[in-house]
Each structure stands twice: as C-alpha cells, then as structure tokens.
C-alpha cells in the first residue's frame, strides 16, 4: 500500500514539475518546435555524413547545420528582407491613398456594364456589396502590409528565436538518437506501438513540411515571376502572400492572381490579363494539383478533407506553426484510434 501511494505521489509530482517546465519554455515553443522539425528533415543528410565520419558526431552536426544555413536560412532571410521592404512601401502607398482598393473595385464593376443591372434584378444591393468588398480589400491589404512591418519591427525577437533554434538543432543533430532512446524508454507503451507512432510522426512531419513548403515555394515563385514580368507592383510581397495561401489546401494562390487579373481586364490590359489567367490556371494551378497529392497526401495517408480541416484549424489556432502541427495531430489521432480498434477487434483495423 505504501509503495502504491509513493508511486502515485511521485507521478503527480512528476506531472506538476513537467507542466511547470513546459510553462518555463513556453516563450520558446516555436524555436523548439522548428528545431525538432528541421532535425527530422535533415536527419537523412546527417545519416549519410555519419556513415562517412562515424567517430566525430560534433563535426557531422556542424556540417549538417552549415548545410541547413546555406540551403534554407540564408535564402529565407534574403526573401524576408525584400518582403519587409516591399510591404513597408505598399503600406505607405495605402496610407497616402495612392493605392485605393475601392477604386479598383469600381473599375472592375464599370468594366462589366451588365453586372449592376443583373444584380439589381435579382434583388442584390450593389452599393452595399461594393462597400463591403472595398472595406474588405482595404483591410486585407493593410493587414498584409502591417504584418510585413511588424516582422521588420520584431527583428530582434526573430533573431533571438532563430539563434536559439539553430543552437538547439545542433544538439538535436548531435545527440538526438540518445534523447530518442531515453524517450522510448520513458514512454509506457509496447515497442511496436512506440515504433508505429514514431514512424507516423516522422512521416507526417517530413511529408507536410516538404510537401506544403515545396508547393508553397513553387507557387509563390511562379506567381512572383509572372507578376514581375507583367510589371505588377511589389511582386515579392505578393509572391510571399501567394506562398502562404498555397499552404491551405483548396484555397491557394488564386485568391491573389484572380482579382489582379480581373483588375487588368477592367483597366483594358486584355493581353496582360489573359496571360495571367492562362499562366495562373495552367502553370500555378498545375503545380498545386500535381505536387501536393504526390508530396503530402500519399505520404501522410490522410484523406484530402482531413488535410484541409486540420491545416486550416492548425493555422487558426497556432499561426504559421499550425500548418505542420494540425496534420500531425490528425495523423496521430488516426493512429491512436487505429491501435485502439486493432486491440478490440483486429478484423476492423485498416492496416
């Protein structure tokens, strides 16, 4: 009886201390999370280097970290710098009313003369819709520009978290297998279940990050190139916005290039508008339709609707981190339930 009481007391204290430690680390959750994600993504590179240098774990971790910095960190920092600069310029144009979203909408409506009459016949108040669209466009434009400005103002905070992420990534690359062995020992599950859940975590993390990020980068880059060729202002800013929207399944970059194409049609730039529509539908859209099922859906083995809802829900709750955490939680949810179903009735398991 005393041993049982002592064990329960110890487990309660262990839970409390663990919770307190998690709260202490709360300001750095984002840096810790991305350090884990980056370690998972670059573990194949580390494994190949370790095969060639099996007795120098520190050097292997440093080379892997250097590869990460060259391939990912430096290009991302350069992109963010341009994004912040163009976002600040765009915001100043909105503030000075040199860019007026309401005027854009008026031009689009005036370019389609039958649209106001048609809407009035079906009982739709065109003035209220115009006002709503204009205010929404203004609000969205200001949010985009302000986010770029906020990122610029929070440079110190961003730099600190980036340094902490790289610092932790080094130790995870060097000692990650030992830490993983300790975690496997501490988790009170069978070896088969621990292996299943660990594999699912790695599969979903790699597929979601590589898949979503690659699709986003490709679509954003393609959109930025066509915006630059058509001489549309702030192409890098809109490329980043299109890349972010591309992370959300069934939404995509069309939320940016379709309104721009409509505006080009409304202003008489028929050739540029037609080029943008054809390019957006065939090139940008094809990148999403071809790459996403290959890189995300197939590896995660998640239905498209679960990927959609888990991604959008994760982003709504956790911001940019949610596009990985949402599908990851969904995949682990299905894995746990699959284990539960298998234990109760193996005939019902989906394998």
Q: Is the pLDDT of residue 22 over 80?
A: yes
Helix axes 304-318, 322-344, angle to 10 degrees: 130
Q: What percent of the chain has pLDDT over 90?
A: 2
269 or 84, which is more confident: 269
Per-residue pLDDT tens digits for 218-235: 888 888 899 888 888 778
**Backbone torsions φ then ψ of 132, nearest 5 degrees:** -65, -45
Q: Which of 91, 196, 199 is nearest to 147 (CA)?
A: 91
Higher pLDDT: 14 or 293? It is: 14
When pLDDT is averaged across residues 160-168 and rounded to a whole number, the result is: 89
Task: Say how far apart CA 1 and CA 7 lie, in whole Å.
Answer: 10
User: Can you tell me the mean pLDDT for 103-123?
Assistant: 61
In whole angstroms, what is the distance from residue 244 CA to residue 294 CA? Answer: 19
Q: What is the 3-state secondary structure (H, E, C) of the chain?
A: CHHHHHHHHHHHHHHHHHHHHHHHCHHHHHHHHHHHHHHHHHHHHHHHHHHHCCCCHHHHHHHHHHHHHHHHHHHHHHHHHHHHHHHHHHHHHHHCCCCCHHHHHHHHHHHCCHHHHHHHHCCCCHHHHHHHHHHHHHHHHHHHHHHHHHHHHCHHHHHHHHHHHHHHHHHHHHHHHHHHHHHHHHCCCCHHHHHHHHHHHHHHHHHHHHHHHHHHHHHHHHHHHHHHHCCCCCHHHHHHHHHHHHCCCCCCCHHHHHHHHHHHHHCCCHHHHHHHHHHHHHHHHHHHHHHHHHHHHHHHCCCHHHHHHHHHHHHHHHHHHHHHHHHHHHHHHHHHHHHHHHHHCHHHCCC
Q: What is the pLDDT of residue 351?
A: 45
**Beta carbons within 8 Å of 166's beta carbon, 6+ residues apart:** 35, 65, 68, 69, 73
d(CA 246, CA 221): 11
List, for residues 171-207, the tens digit of each pLDDT value: 888 887 788 777 777 777 777 777 777 777 777 777 7
Give backbone dihedrals phi and psi of 248, rounded to 5 degrees, phi first.
Answer: -95, 115
| Residue 149 clears pLDDT 80, i.e. is over it | no
pLDDT tens-place string over residues 316-327: 887 777 777 887
Please report the pLDDT score of residue 79 as a whole number.
75
Distance CA 351, CA 349 (A): 5
Average pLDDT value over all residues in the chain? 76
What are the pLDDT digits (tens) for 39-93? 888 888 888 888 787 778 888 888 888 988 888 888 878 777 777 777 667 667 6
Which is more confidently placed, 295 or 336? 336
């Amino acid at each position: 009886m005393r041993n049982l009481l002592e064990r329960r007391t110890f487990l309660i204290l262990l839970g409390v201390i663990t919770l307190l430690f998690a709260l202490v680390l709360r300001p750095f959750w984002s840096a810790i999370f991305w350090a884990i994600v980056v370690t998972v993504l670059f573990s194949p590179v580390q494994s190949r280097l370790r095969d060639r240098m099996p007795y120098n774990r520190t050097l292997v971790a440093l080379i892997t970290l250097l590869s990460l910095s060259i391939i990912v960190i430096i290009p991302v920092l350069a992109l963010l710098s341009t994004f912040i600069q163009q976002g600040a310029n765009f915001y100043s144009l909105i503030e000075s009313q040199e860019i007026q979203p309401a005027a854009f909408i008026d031009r689009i409506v005036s370019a389609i003369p039958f649209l106001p009459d048609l809407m009035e016949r079906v009982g739709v108040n065109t003035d209220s819709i115009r006002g709503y669209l204009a205010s929404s466009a203004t609000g969205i434009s200001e949010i985009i520009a302000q986010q770029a400005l906020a990122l610029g103002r929070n440079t110190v905070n961003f730099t600190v978290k980036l340094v902490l992420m790289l610092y932790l990534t080094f130790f995870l690359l060097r000692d990650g297998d030992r830490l993983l062995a300790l975690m496997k020992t501490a988790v009170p599950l069978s070896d088969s279940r621990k292996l299943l859940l660990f594999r699912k975590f790695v599969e979903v993390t790699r597929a979601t990050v590589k898949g979503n990020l690659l699709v986003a980068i490709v679509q954003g880059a393609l959109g930025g190139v066509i915006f630059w060729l058509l001489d549309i202002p702030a192409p890098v800013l809109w490329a980043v916005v299109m890349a972010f929207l591309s992370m959300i399944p069934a939404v995509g970059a069309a939320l940016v290039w379709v309104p721009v194409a409509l505006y080009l049609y409304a202003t008489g730039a028929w050739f540029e508008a037609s080029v943008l529509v054809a390019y957006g539908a065939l090139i940008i859209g094809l990148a999403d339709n071809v790459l996403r099922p290959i890189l995300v859906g197939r590896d995660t083995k998640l239905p498209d609707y679960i990927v959609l809802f888990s991604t959008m829900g994760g982003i709504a709750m956790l911001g940019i981190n949610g596009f990985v955490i949402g599908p990851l939680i969904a995949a682990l949810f299905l894995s746990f339930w699959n284990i539960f179903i298998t234990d109760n009735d193996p005939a019902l398991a989906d394998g």
